Chain A
Amino acid sequence: GENVEQHPSTLSVQEGDSAVIKCTYSDSASNYFPWYKQELGKRPQLIIDIRSNVGEKKDQRIAVTLNKTAKHFSLHITETQPEDSAVYFCAARGGADGLTFGKGTHLIIQP
């Protein structure tokens, strides 16, 4: 089955700086890669996703890049703000079964 590795497990950045979270996947058949944000005690919320026919996608301060050859994808958050503090999960999916998640990155925005 699919295996998703996510790094780092904790990331602390100064407010206004950029944050990058990286994930690798094992199954070359995977073709859908969402990113979820989870605040403490809340449900995961989709923030951005990318499909394997696209190399990059951007939505305001958030962008995701995908390298199919290397089987890795990354989340980029620019001009970080205090409300960006949360746990971020990457995931991969190739077939009709469910998402395979990374173990999460705790993003801390320092004032």
Chain B
Amino acid sequence: NAGVTQTPKFQVLKTGQSMTLQCAQDMNHEYMSWYRQDPGMGLRLIHYSVGAGITDQGEVPNGYNVSRSTTEDFPLRLLSAAPSQTSVYFCASSRAGHPGLAGGRGETQYFGPGTRLLVL
């Protein structure tokens, strides 16, 4: 299994440009999520999905869109990039969407390698 994969690894955008960060997992996980990591801020949840066709907002959703048309893929779209969106973005997945399901181990989240985004 490749696990959780993300593309691109690094991207430079100009203010106002749009782009899509790709995330895929081959573990048949129901739950997928996007986090951003900024220095001194830990990881903050942007959007998440508990299954195909279902998405919801996290702590910092503004400026980002997601969709979940398949179990495997969970792309993150930046509609109009701003310098404040300069960050490292991590995608994560887990077998179950809710703690305690799937035999008690379903909530272990596996992270992708990250995408480093610079907005000028």
Contact = CB atoms under 8 A, between A and B. Distances in A.
Contacts of A18: none
Interface stretch (A56-64, A75-83, A96-104): A96-104
Interface string B78-120: 0000000000001010000111100010011111111000000
Interface in A8-49: 9, 31-32, 34, 42-46, 49
Given A96-B98, A103-B40, A1 B59 contact: yes
Interface residues of B, number: 29
Contacts of B92: 98
A101 B114 contact: no
Contacts of A97: 45, 48, 56, 58
Contacts, number: 63
- How would you classify the secondary structure of chain A's contact residues: helix, strand, loop or mixed? loop
B89 to A, nearest CB: 11
Interface of A: 1, 6, 9, 31-32, 34, 42-46, 49, 51, 89, 93-104
